[in-house]
Structure 1
C-alpha cells in the first residue's frame, strides 16, 4: 500500500485488493502449447498484469504478479512469458513470477520476439537489442534510422536459422542475420506501411499486412508475390493461418470484423462481422485445430470454431467484461458475493467476488424482444436500448418474477430484468397517458419485499408499479425533476426529492404527504440505508446531508456507521457520522460509483475510462484502526488502483506489528462524565451478596460437626483476600488447650482500620477503599463489623468510614460498591447510629448525596425508557 511522507498509509481504512471484470485490452494475446499437458493456453493483458486461460474451457489458470506500469507488448516461448512496460521488459515463469528483467532501452518497447535462448526487443526509436535470457546480457544491438526504416513488425521465418524479418512504417522489409550482424536482403515493399507479419504454413512464404488493408502473400526466398487480398475495413491488425487441412487465412481489422480468404481458390470466402466491438487486437488459429482465438480492446476473449458448411466461425467460448466505462454498480444480495454493474455499452452484468466462473451477463436491453427473435435482428444496434443509467435490485422474489428495475439514458420507460434467468424481464414500465418525448425516467427504487417498483420522472411525477403484473399502483408529485426515490424497509414511508430543493415524506400505502422540508441546495442523488433509517443526500453545492427518516432531522448514527462518498476531484472519503471525516485518499482516475458490501468486508469502486470494478478490503476488520477525525489541514495521498491479482502476503516484521504514531491506545478515564456515574470493574460476587451473607452461611452450615484430620492437611490454610497469604498456626506450649479467649488478639487493628484512622487526619480514603476492594464478601463483613466499639472499633473510625462513602458518592465512581458497602454498614450498625450525634450528622449528609444521585439517574432511566417505548410503538404500526 502507498505510504505518505509521515509513514501513514495513504488510506487508514481501505487497502487495494483486486480488480474484477477485466479480461483483455488492446495488447495482442499470446498462445502457447504445453507439451506435457497437451493443452493450449492463451495469455491476455489486463493492465499491469496478465491472465492465462486454458483454451479448452477458458478457465483462468493463473494471474501474474503486477508490474510497475501498464504492459505495452507481450510475447512467449515454451517456458517464459515476456512482458514490456515502458523501456523495460521482464520474463515470467509459471505465468506468474518475474525471473528476469532486461534494462537498456531508452524509449518505449513495442515489439518482442523470442529467439531460442535469446529474446529480441525493439523500441519506438527503432533500436533493436538481442538479449541472452538467462544472463540478462546484451548480445547485439542494431540501430535504425527512424526516418528511413522505422520498425513496425518483426518475424522469425520458419527454418531460417539466425535470421529475422523486419517490416517498417515506410513499407520496406529487411532480412537480417543476427549472428553475423549482416543485412542479407532488403525488400522494396509496396510503398505502404507494414502492420503485421505472419509465417504461412508453407516454408519461405510470409503474409504481410499493410496499412492500406491489403494482405500480401510473399515468397521471401525468391522475392516474389504469390497473391494479394484486400479488405475495406482499414489497416490489417493481425493475420493467422489454419493448419488443420483447410487453406484458410484470417485477417483482423480496426472495426472488429474478421475477413476469411481461401488460399487455394485465391478468393474472399466469408466475413465475421462484429467479432469484437473494437479493433481486433490479436487472432490465432490453434495448430491443427479448427479453433480461432481472438481478443480486443472491448475487454473480451473469444474462441470460435469452424465446423459449419459455409466456413464461417461460430462462437464457442468467451470471457467478456464491459467494453465501455461503467455507469452504475451495486452489490446484489446479502452475502456480498455478487456485484451488478451497468455500462455505457448497454449491458447489465454480474461479477462474482469469489471466482470468475460465477460471472454472468444479463445481456443487452432490447426494445422489442419478440420482434427481434422473429426477424433475427440481434446484432442490429437500432433495436438495443440505450445504456442503463440507474437501477435497483432486490432478491426477495427473484425466483417468482423480475427483481431488477432500470432506467435508460433518454428513455421514459424503465425495463425490468430477471437475475436468475439472466435476461431482460417481461415489462417496460411507464405511464400510459404520457406521450412527450422529452420526459425521461431519472430515479428508481424497488421495495425490500420485491413487490413494487418506484420510478421518478423528469416531469416531477413518481409512479409506483407492481413488479409481478406491471400494473400502475399510485403516484406522488414534485414540481421539479425527481432526483431520488427511496422506500423504507417496512414499506411505510416513501421518500422523494426533486430539483426544486424539496425533500418529501409520503405514506407508501395511501400516497398521502406526511412531511416536506426544504434543502439548502438542489439535490443531486439520494441513498437510503434501510436497516438504520439513515438517508444520505448529495447536494449541488458539493455538500452531503444526513437525515434520520424517523425524526426527519439532521442526525448522527449512534453506532458509528460510515458514510462513504466519491467525487470528481478523484477522492474517496469516509465519514464516521458521530465524529466526522476519518479517512480520505486520492486516485489517479475519478471514481464514478462506490458501493459497500453488505458484509462490510469490501468497498467496490468504478472509475472514469476504466472497464473494471475495483475491490478495496476493509482494514478495520482485521487490524486496529484509528477512527479519530482527520485534521483540517490533512492532505490525502494518491493510491494506485489494485490489479487483477490479490495483494501479495507480506511477512509481518517487528516494525509493522508496532502501532503507528497515530494509533494512540485509548485509555478510559476514571470518570466518564460528571453527569453520569461510573461502575467498578469488580465481579458481582464481590458486592452483590453482601446483604445475604447470613442466609448463605445458614445454607452452607454443615449437617455434622467437622472431624479433626488425623494428619496434616494437604492444602496449607490461607487468609481470605485477593492476595493469598498463608495462615500462621498458633503456637501453644501448654499441652492442655486453654479455653480462655485472649481479648488482646481480637483487639488487634487491621490494615483497613489503620487506613480509616489515617483518613481522619489527611482526608484521603483511596488506600482504605483499595484494601476493601481486595477482600471477599466474608472479609468485608468482618472488617465492617469490627468498626463498632463493641468489637474493638470506635465512633471516630465509623465516622471515617461514612466519610469514605461520601467521597465515593461525590466522585460518582464505584457507584455499586458504595451502595453495597453502605447497605451492609447500616445493616450491621443501624441500632447504635442514632445514639451518636457525630454519626447521625454524617449519615444525614450521606443520605442527601445518595438521594441526589438517584434522582438524577432516575430521570436518565425515564428518558431512555421513553425512547425505547417510542421505537417499539413505531415498529408495531
Structure 2
C-alpha cells in the first residue's frame, strides 16, 4: 500500500511484504528511510531469533495526517490478522507511543485519521468502528451498526460526519460527535475500498463486481458508475482537483475516469499487476506499486506540462491502438535508464543509451515542437551584446603618465648629458621594417581570411552549417566579435551571404536560439550599411531569414507565455 504524506506531494509512505513501513522522498532519495520499530537487532541477539520474527505483521492499511506531526503521532496502521492498531511518528521516523487493542477482540481491518489529526478510527471485523484519541490514546466512542467487517472509513473536512463501508454491502453515515447513525445506503455489491475527495464532497468505492461507484456526500445518491475492469479492483484514487478517478485492477490495467462526463479517458496495461496507487496532491505524479516489485513507480501527468485533448474511450469498439489484451502495453519506468524491451521506443525517440553502463542520456532535443536554448552560460551571449559598453566602461579615466625617471636597468650612453642607449632597439626596428618575415619582427602578418571565413566558404558546397556555430560556441565573446567584424566584404559578398544562410539554417534547426539571435545582432550592427547598399542582391536571403526568425520567435513566445500562465496558476492555487 502506498499513500502520499502531506499536501506538498514530496513524500510517500509505503508498506510492503517485508513487514516494514517506509518513508520515501520523491525528490531526494537520501531522505528516504525505514520507520524504526525499536531495537530489533539487540533484542534478536538477546533472544537468539531472527529480526524478521520481531517485526510487526504485514501492514494492510494505514492512514496519515500531517496537521499534528510536531505534536503527537500522525500515522495509524493495522496489520494482517492483528487485533491491534499501531501509531507512528513521521517526525521521529519511528513507531509511536500507542497500541490500540480492539474492544471486542476482533481483527482490525481498516483505519483512518480525522481531518484535524486528533482522532483515529479503527474498523473491526465485527462491524464496529472505534474512535481513539491520537494524543492521549484514550478510547472516545464507538459506531455500531455494520454486521460484517468494515472495509473503509473516511471523515469529512469539518469533523461532522464519518462515512464507512462494510462487507455487508452498505454505506453508512455517522455523526462524528455522538456516534449516532444518520443514514444507511444499500449497495449493489460489497465495497472493498473507500476514498473521499473532501473539497468535492464525493465518495468513491470499489465493489466486488469490478465497478467503481461514486456517491455525493450531501445527497447520498450514486451519481456515477464506472465499469470496464475485467478483474477485481485493487485500489483507486481521486485526482487533486477531483475531476478524475484513477483505478488499478488485477487485469493489469490502470484506467482514468472523467467524473463530469462519466467516460473513461485514458487506460494502459503494465507488465506487473498494480496493487496500490496514489495521486499526488499537487497533481503532477501518479505513484503505483506492483505485485512482486520492491519499487514505487512515478508516472508524470502530461496535462500539467502540455496540452492534451481527452476523448472518450470505449474498449468494446475502440481497438485501433490497443493490443489483444485490450489496452496498450506501457513499459514500466526505471531508476537508471530504460528497460531491455524498450529498444523500439528508443529508436522512435532518438534516445541515446550507454548499454555498457545503463546510463540514460537525455536527447539533444526532445521533440520537433520545441525550441531549444543552448547549454552555454548566460554570459556567453549577454557579454557579446554589451561588448562595446563593457570596453568603454573598462577604459582608463586618465592617460598613462610618462615616468619622470626611467628605470635604473635601462642602458645609458656615456657623456655629460643623460641619454639612453637605443642602438639595439633601432636596429631591431630597421630589421623589422625591411623584412617582416625575420625572426625578430614585431609586425603581425594579417591574412585576408580568418577561421570563420574559411568555414563559411567550405559550407557553400555541402550546405552543412553546423560547423559554423560549433566554432563560434568555442570562442569567448571578444573573439566572436573579432571574427564577425573581420569577415571580408568582396564584390560577390560571399562571406555575407554564407553567414545569412548559416543563421537561417540554425534557426530552422530550432537549436541554440538565443546564441543565434546574439550573433545576428552583432552581424547586422557591423554590416548593416553593406546590406543596405546591396539590398537587391541580398533580398531573397534576408526574406528567408526574417521569415524563419519570426516563426521561431512565435514558438518561443508561446512557450514562455504558457509557462508563465502555469506558474501564476500554481501560485494562486496555493
TM-score, normalised with respect to structure 1: 0.43
**Greater radius of gyration (CA):** 1
Q: Which runs of 5+ in 1 are unaligned?
A: 1-13, 22-52, 66-73, 75-80, 84-94, 97-298, 300-319, 367-383, 432-436, 580-619, 633-658, 712-729
Task: Work out which of the residue numbers 259, 266, 274 in structure 2 matches 1:554.
Answer: 266
For the residue of structure 2 that corresponds to 1:830, the secondary structure is helix
In the alignment, is residue 408 of structure 1 matched against residue 102 of structure 2?
no
Structure 1 residue 667, shift from structure 2 partner: 2.4
State yes or no: 1:808 paired with 2:514: no
Q: 1:62 to 1:386 in 2, by over 3 A?
A: closer
In 2, distance between residues paired with 1:351 and 1:666?
38
**Is residue 429 from structure 1 mapped to residue 429 from structure 2 by the alignment?**
no
Is structure 2 residue 554 aligned with structure 1 residue 855?
yes
Q: Distance in 2 between matches of 1:429 and 1:662?
A: 60
Cα distance in 1 for residues equivalent to 2:571 and 2:40: 53
Specify which of 243, 249, 257 is matched with residue 539 of structure 1: 249
CA distance, structure 1, for counterparts of residue 213 and residue 476 of structure 2:
61
Q: CA deviation at 1:845?
A: 1.2
**Residue 664 (structure 1) aligned with residue 379 (structure 2):** no
Instruction: Report the count of equivalent residues.
Output: 453
1:563 aligns with 2:288: yes
Q: Which residue of 2 aligns with 1:389?
A: 109
Residue in structure 2 matching 1:674, options 360, 368, 378: 368
1:520 corresponds to which residue?
229
**1:573-722 pair list within 5 angstroms:** 575-577=297-299, 625-626=335-336, 628-629=338-339, 631=341, 663-707=357-401
Residue of structure 1 in register with 2:415 after alignment: none
> Which residue does the alignment assign to 1:344?
81
**Cα–Cα, structure 1 residues 355 and 810, in superposed 2: closer, same or farther, change >3 Å?**
closer
Distance in 1, matches of 2:187 and 2:74, equals: 37
Residue 417 (1) aligns with residue 142 (2): no
Secondary structure, aligned partner of 1:702: coil
Does 2:431 align with 1:733? no
Query: Does the CA contact (< 8 Å) of 1:546 and 1:554 recur in 2?
Result: yes
CA distance in 2, matches of 1:774, 1:576: 39
Change (3 A) 1:357 1:797: closer
Task: Answer whether contact 1:535 1:547 (CA < 8 A) is retained.
Answer: yes
Instruction: Supply the distance in 2 between the matched residues of 1:869 and 1:548 (Cα, whole angstroms).
Output: 25
Q: Residues of 1 paired with 2:426 and 2:498: CA distance? A: 35
> Which residue in the other structure is 2:518 paired with?
820
Q: Which residue of structure 2 lines up, in the alignment, with residue 158 of structure 1?
A: none
* Alpha-carbon contact 1:329-1:342 (below 8 Å) kept: yes
Mapped to 2, the partners of 1:794 and 1:481 lie a distance apart of 86
Q: Do residues 503 (structure 1) and 231 (structure 2) align?
A: no
Pairwise CA distance, 1:484: 2.6
Query: Is residue 485 of structure 1 aligned with residue 201 of structure 2?
Result: no
Match of 2:542 among 828, 843, 852: 843
Residue 333 of structure 1: CA displacement?
5.5
CA deviation vs aligned residue, 1:239-276 (integer Å, no higher than 9, x gap)? xxxxxxxxxxxxxxxxxxxxxxxxxxxxxxxxxxxxxx
CA distance in structure 2 between the aligned counterparts of 1:17 and 1:410, rounded to whole angstroms? 25
How far off is 1:750 after superposition? 1.9
Q: 1:17 to 1:563 in 2, by over 3 A?
A: closer
SS in 2 for 1:781: helix
1:475 shift after superposition: 8.0
Q: State the shift of 1:680 in Å.
A: 1.5
State the TM-score, normalizing by the size of structure 2. Answer: 0.62
Greater share of strand: 1
Helix, strand or coil at the partner of 2:189: coil
Quick one: which of 795, 817, 829 aligns to 2:527?
Answer: 829
Find the aligned partners of 1:491 and 1:19 in 2 and give their Cα distance. 34
Q: 2:488 matched to 1:756?
A: no
SS of the equivalent of 1:842 reads helix
Provide Cα deviations, 1:424-471, integer angstroms capped at 9, x if missing partner.
Answer: x3222357xxxxx75664321345787753323456654455645546
User: SS of the residue aligned with 1:831?
Assistant: helix
Q: Within 5 A, what are the aligned runs for 1:162-177?
A: none
Tell me what 1:494 maps to: 202
* C-alpha distance in structure 1 between counterparts of 2:284 and 2:228, whole Å: 26
SS in structure 2 of the partner of residue 696 of structure 1? helix
Aligned pairs for 1:323-342 within 5 A: 328-330=60-62, 332=64, 340-342=77-79
Q: Is the 8 A contact 1:805 1:846 kept in 2?
A: yes
Shift of 1:685: 0.5
| Secondary structure at 1:676 match in 2 | coil
Tell me: CA distance 1:768–1:407, structure 2 relative to 1, closer, same or farther (3 Å). same
Contact 2:210–2:227 (Cα < 8 Å) also in 1: yes
SS of aligned partner of 1:753: helix
* CA apart distance, 1:796: 0.9
Runs of at least 5 residues in structure 2 that lack an aligned partner in the other structure: 1-13, 22-37, 269-278, 302-332, 343-352, 408-424, 434-441
Does residue 453 (structure 1) correspond to residue 166 (structure 2)? The answer is: no
Alignment of 1:352-367 (within 5 A): 360-366=97-103
Distance 2:154 2:123 in 1: 10
Give, in angstroms, the shift of residue 477 of structure 1: 7.7
Q: How does 1:228-377 map to 2 (within 5 A)?
A: 328-330=60-62, 332=64, 340-350=77-87, 360-366=97-103
Contact 1:498 1:522 in 2 (8 A): no
Structure-2 separation of matches of 1:356 and 1:854: 51
CA distance in 2, matches of 1:752, 1:743: 23
Secondary structure, in 3 states, of the residue corresponding to 2:359?
coil
Deviations 1:479-500 (A, max 9, x none): 4333332233x63342413535
* Closer, same or farther: CA 62–455 of 1 in aligned 2, 3 Å: closer
* C-alpha separation in 1, matches of 2:252 and 2:150: 24
C-alpha deviation, 1:733, in angstroms: 3.1
Cα gap change, 1:796/1:345 in structure 2, threshold over 3 Å: closer, same or farther? Answer: closer
1:595-626 alpha-carbon deviations (Å, 9 max, x no partner): xxxxxxxxxxxxxxxxxxxxxxxxx9xxx942
Identify if the C-alpha distance between structure 1 residues 798 and 326 changes in structure 2 by more than 3 Å, giving closer, same or farther. closer
Q: Which has the higher contact order (CA 8 A, sep 6+)?
A: 1
Aligned mates of 2:202, 2:471 — CA distance in 1: 61
